[in-house]
Amino acid sequence: MKGDITVHFDGAAHPNPGLASWGFTIDVPGQLQVRKKGMCPGDERSNNEAEYIAMGMALRYVHDHATELAGHRLVVLGDSQLVIRQMTGKYQCNEKLSPLLNRAKQVCKGIEVAGFPPIIFEHIPGEQNPEADRLSKEAWEEFTGQKFPVYPKKVKKWA
């Protein structure tokens, strides 16, 4: 095994649903760094759809470069608990997201057929996903000419 290819992905939508964007990073230690961002198709996408599109774009990149990347283990990291848990079968998927889930799973099968071991999907806290988050919001800002809104984090109060 040549080591891990690490994918980080994130999506952003404002309003939610609304204009949506995506960003991802791919790192192959000592070999390759990929940074991509863009807008999601359509005028109204949810944040969950944007997350799926971000992950799908990253998986498609790995799939399209599978020959030179084969032999590595692929680790996909995202701060969307919903997307990660749907990809691993821990959560069910609704009708709206199921086409995105099915497409992502098909790309994963193609990656594994190309010589990769089973893909690992892990949920990470948002603080561990800063670059993909920045890229997704940067794409939105470049498209709209506006600053992506920042919402204060909700603080849990313990009784």
Domain map (residue ranges) of the chain: 4-144
The pLDDT assigned to 30 comes to 83
Predicted confidence band of residue 14 (pLDDT cuts 50, 70, 90): very high
Domain spanning 4-144 has what CATH number?
3.30.420.10
Alpha helices (H) along 4-152 = 47-64, 66-69, 81-87, 98-113, 130-144
Residue 88, CA distances (Å) to 13, 33, 119, 122, 123 in order: 24, 26, 10, 9, 11
Decide: 20 and 13 in contact? Cβ < 8 Å: yes
Cα–Cα dist 74/132, whole Å: 17
pLDDT in tens, 79-134: 999 999 999 999 999 999 999 999 999 999 999 999 899 999 999 999 999 999 99
pLDDT reading at 152 higher than 90? no
One-letter amino acid at 69 equals L
Tokens of 97: 């997201």
Whether the Cβ atoms of residue 44 and residue 15 lie closer than 8 Å to each other: no
Residues 67-78 as b or e (16 or more Cβ within 10 Å = b): eebeebebebbb
- How many beta carbons lie within 10 A of that of residue 123, not counting itself? 17
β-strands 4-14, 73-78: how paired?
parallel
pLDDT tens track for 35-94: 999 999 998 999 999 999 999 999 999 999 999 898 899 999 999 999 999 999 999 999
What is the distance between the alpha carbons of residues 99 and 7, in angstroms, rounded to a whole number? 21
pTM equals 0.93
